[in-house]
A and B are shown apart, each in its own frame.
Chain A
């Protein structure tokens, strides 16, 4: 690990001010940042610890939603009775991620900001445009079993590893931030994560010194909520494909469906046209296929991850069948 100075923040604006300095990084749970620092993938010269800031509450909003403080731990968010009752897809997605020890430490904001698990991003001896812009992408012609089939570029085919963010995408969550002037910005989660393009090192729309303070959830949409995660082990593994689904249907007739996918792209993947094809349709193979076609529009495998195309289709079918059963 490279040497760094350690500072505890007394306020959000103080943390934001400190974070604008080159080489400065905010540390919250630290479960991803310290992992990367040990490998010298991340080499901050200054760490600003925000663990003591009072940003760990879950509150009701006047609109009937929830406002989740950025420091709420993943385990506490998953176990919150309001989340379990009204946002089951979020609770289940959180519980699908990492291990209990990591969830006890990992935070809401940190989960959104976690970096890809691409093998070549982690290996500092290999080219990686995300870690070292301009060096190339070793995954394109390398082992790319876990990589993106949608929204990738010639510069980067990494995926975003979060389960939580996929559920938040289906729920249309909003990310609240504060900058060093104390100004609040609200970013829809659809606009929070970016596609790699030719700047894969820029992963979010956050500006330097802009700190996540909360994530707000609108009132829960009607329907059954399901999070399905397909992975190499039954537990404690990242998603190959995951689906956060919120489906409102009666007797085989779909009123509305929301489907967000994990494991497929540099950000949680949601396709409006796929949901339109399901709205007011009969729940059957034809409508599920039509939706899958829309989700996989422009999808492309890179060899090792070709299996993700049929796997996405099958997972969509399975989740739609499950959520429209009654």
Chain B
């Protein structure tokens, strides 16, 4: 019998006493946690006893490189990038589609990679922050964020930049926003109000918003 459960036995040590076994067990648990694949932790606790469903095979084209993965069906695209491919540029902020830190581009369109399963994107072309620069030549938005100090802590920045890439493409395609005055006109002018509305899915807790807007305007070739 485990000595921690043996309160009824007169010789049993106090439940709250730290025994050598407690220390060893705690150590073993810690060791187990550190040696588990990080992906297993990211998938969340498994609290049922049913056998795991079969894994899914997924082919992803990430930043021009093909990747073959065999994944637990629960794996989100964000966890596939971060935990299976070590592409940690895409950040996990809220993990519920509220902060935008995980924004990536799928076939050129921005989405929250935390709210989609990797399995749903078999065969898709994905661009992450790691895929925007050409070698040492930064993407114009990356340069603009540096020049305009579009961040403080930097945690939201990769999501902000990927989102801005998608946003400028949407704007060029003439897609409207909630603040577009006349929806019947094909293209809306990209004002500060338009940029702020179109970027509202990316939260910056350091509140670098004025500089983010300035960086986006520079990258769009507008006066800043």
- Report which A residues bind B (CB closer than 8 A): 1-6, 27, 30-31, 34-35, 38, 47, 49, 51, 75, 78-79, 81, 84-85, 88, 91-92, 95-96, 98-102, 104-105, 234-236
Known A-B contacts A31-B112, A100-B201, A105-B116; the reply to A3 vs B184 at CB < 8 A is no
- B170 beta carbon closer than 8 Å to chain A: yes
Q: Judge whether A91 and B110 touch: CB under 8 Å.
A: no
- B207 beta carbon closer than 8 Å to chain A: no
- B54 beta carbon closer than 8 Å to chain A: yes
Can you give 14 A-B contacts (C-beta < 8 A)? A3-B46, A6-B73, A34-B76, A49-B119, A79-B174, A91-B176, A96-B178, A98-B201, A99-B97, A99-B200, A100-B163, A100-B177, A102-B112, A105-B112
The contact of A47 among B46, B73, B100, B186, by CB within 8 Å, is B73
Chain B residue at smallest Cβ distance from A83: B183
Report the separation of the CA atoms of residues A27 and B177 in the bound assembly, to the nearest whole angstrom.
Answer: 27
Question: How far does the Cβ of A7 sit from chain B's closest Cβ, in whole Å?
Answer: 9
- B30 beta carbon closer than 8 Å to chain A: no
Q: What residues on A are CB-neighbors of B201 within 8 Å?
A: 98-102, 236
Q: Judge whether B120 and A49 touch: CB under 8 Å.
A: yes
The contact of A34 among B50, B100, B116, B186, by CB within 8 Å, is B116
The contact of B115 among A4, A34, A91, by CB within 8 Å, is A34
18 more A-B residue pairs beyond the given contacts A3-B73, A236-B200, with a C-beta to C-beta distance below 8 A:
A3-B50, A3-B52, A4-B74, A5-B73, A6-B56, A34-B116, A38-B44, A38-B96, A49-B119, A75-B175, A79-B174, A88-B183, A88-B184, A98-B201, A99-B97, A101-B103, A104-B166, A236-B201
The contact of A3 among B48, B167, B183, by CB within 8 Å, is B48
Question: How far does the Cβ of A42 sit from chain B's closest Cβ, in whole Å?
Answer: 13
- B59 beta carbon closer than 8 Å to chain A: no
- B82 beta carbon closer than 8 Å to chain A: no
- B117 beta carbon closer than 8 Å to chain A: yes
Q: Judge whether A100 and B198 touch: CB under 8 Å.
A: yes
Q: Judge whether B53 and A5 touch: CB under 8 Å.
A: yes
Top 10 nearest A-B pairs (CB, nearest first) are A99-B201, A235-B200, A6-B73, A95-B178, A5-B53, A79-B175, A236-B200, A84-B183, A101-B201, A1-B74
- B138 beta carbon closer than 8 Å to chain A: no
- B144 beta carbon closer than 8 Å to chain A: no
Report the separation of the CA atoms of residues A312 and B183 in the bound assembly, to the nearest whole angstrom.
Answer: 26
Q: What residues on B are CB-neighbors of A30 within 8 Å?
A: 115-117, 120
Question: How far does the Cβ of A303 sit from chain B's closest Cβ, in whole Å?
Answer: 26
State which residues 39-59 of B face A: CB under 8 Å.
43-44, 46, 48, 50, 52-54, 56
- B83 beta carbon closer than 8 Å to chain A: no
Question: How far does the Cβ of A251 sit from chain B's closest Cβ, in whole Å?
Answer: 23
Q: What residues on A are CB-neighbors of B116 within 8 Å?
A: 30-31, 34, 105
Q: Judge whether A5 and B54 touch: CB under 8 Å.
A: yes
Known A-B contacts A4-B74, A105-B111; the reply to A35 vs B44 at CB < 8 A is no
Q: Judge whether A3 and B53 touch: CB under 8 Å.
A: yes
Q: What residues on A are CB-neighbors of B198 within 8 Å?
A: 100
Known A-B contacts A31-B97, A34-B76; the reply to A95 vs B53 at CB < 8 A is no
Q: What residues on A are CB-neighbors of B52 within 8 Å?
A: 3
Report the separation of the CA atoms of residues A315 and B96 in the bound assembly, to the nearest whole angstrom.
Answer: 31
**Number of B residues contacting the other chain (C-beta, 8 Å)?**
48
Report the separation of the CA atoms of residues A27 and B116 in the bound assembly, to the nearest whole angstrom.
Answer: 10
> B73, B183, B197, B198: which has the most chain A beta carbons within 10 Å?
B183
Question: How far does the Cβ of A25 sit from chain B's closest Cβ, in whole Å?
Answer: 12
Q: What residues on B are CB-neighbors of A235 within 8 Å?
A: 178, 196-197, 200
Encode B74-86 as 1/0 by CB contact (under 8 A) with A.
1010000000000
Q: Judge whether A101 and B97 touch: CB under 8 Å.
A: yes
Q: Judge whether A79 and B176 touch: CB under 8 Å.
A: yes
Chain A residue at smallest Cβ distance from B44: A1
Question: How far does the Cβ of A241 sit from chain B's closest Cβ, in whole Å?
Answer: 16
Q: Judge whether A84 and B176 touch: CB under 8 Å.
A: yes
Report the separation of the CA atoms of residues A84 and B46 in the bound assembly, to the nearest whole angstrom.
Answer: 47
Question: How far does the Cβ of A83 sit from chain B's closest Cβ, in whole Å?
Answer: 9
Known A-B contacts A85-B184, A235-B178; the reply to A104 vs B111 at CB < 8 A is yes
Chain B residue at smallest Cβ distance from A237: B200
Question: How far does the Cβ of B196 sit from chain A's closest Cβ, in whole Å?
Answer: 8
Q: What residues on B are CB-neighbors of A5 within 8 Å?
A: 53-54, 73
The contact of A100 among B166, B173, B183, by CB within 8 Å, is B166
Known A-B contacts A78-B176, A92-B178; the reply to A34 vs B117 at CB < 8 A is yes
> B100, B120, B184, B197: which has the most chain A beta carbons within 10 Å?
B120
> A3, A38, A49: which has the most chain B beta carbons within 10 Å?
A3
The contact of A35 among B72, B115, B184, by CB within 8 Å, is B115
Report the separation of the CA atoms of residues A96 and B178 in the bound assembly, to the nearest whole angstrom.
Answer: 6
